[in-house]
Amino acid sequence: MKRDRLLRHALKPAVFILCLVPLGMLVGWGLRGELGANPIEEITHQTGDWALLLLLITLAVTPLRRLTGWTQPMRVRRMLGLFAFFYACLHLLTYLWLDQFFEWGEILHDVVKRPFITVGFAAFVLLVPLAVTSTRAMMRRLGRRWQTLHRAVYLVAALAVVHYWWLVKADVRDPMLYAGLLAILLGYRVVHARQRHALRRAAPAVAPRVGSRVTE
């Protein structure tokens, strides 16, 4: 019991620190001049990779709980999602600032003319309301609409995978891996939803009528 309590209290700080490790590594590489021949491209790719990876980890928390009964990751699911948004912001900021120097005309041209940027920008726009409404207060205020809204996270993840796939063009091994993980998570969600629907349909048929005696 004492160990469980200690784990519960240590989990959030540990996950918070771990989520900051990629940023610390990038800063360290930058200070040592170890970001390669194209530092801006390296920063863009690293922040995008971590945004997508953390997003998929966030989506995996609920299936993990249902399959294993391990509830502790649920305590950090919101934090993981917000860190995915944090790295997505860094990813976008790197493009806007370091790559385009806030040349809005060029940025708009890219968004319209380059499909992988169009898809990536759409994913970020959809991610913003999910981050803004991630608090408990917003959950209470939106009620059932909150869950409906946050189902869009699967669309965000799908758009992010397409963005990555179209970006790399030739070597698609990494985006293919992310696509496979997302397909597994989506497949699990579909199966689980169908099982719940089947149970709901079957429930009235097997439930005893009021006043009847249930025999063993």
pLDDT (tens digit per residue) in 175-211: 999 999 999 999 998 888 788 778 777 765 544 444 4
In a domain, 126, yes or no: yes
- Check residue 215 and give its pLDDT: 35
Query: Residue 212 — pLDDT band, cuts 50, 70, 90?
Result: very low
pLDDT at 7 over 70: no
Confidence class of residue 149 from pLDDT cuts 50, 70 and 90?
confident
Q: What is the domain range of residue 187? A: 2-199
212, part of any domain: no
In a domain, residue 73? The reply is yes
User: What distance in Å separates the CA atoms of residue 56 and residue 49, rounded to the nearest whole number?
Assistant: 11
Q: Is residue 204 part of a domain?
A: no
pLDDT computed for residue 211 by the predictor: 46
> Is 46 within a domain?
yes
Phi, psi of 38 (to 5 degrees): -125, 85
Please state which of the ranges 54-58, 169-173, 177-181 shows the lowest mean pLDDT: 169-173
pLDDT tens column, 39-53: 999 999 999 999 999
**Residues 64-89, mean pLDDT to the nearest whole number:** 91
What pLDDT, on a 0 to 100 scale, did the predictor assign at position 164? 94
Residue at 208 is within a domain: no
- Determine, yes or no, domain membership for 214: no
Is 213 inside a domain boundary? no
Q: What is the mean pLDDT of residues 120-125?
A: 95
pLDDT in tens, 94-117: 999 999 989 999 999 999 999 999
Domain count within the chain: 1
pLDDT at 62 over 50: yes
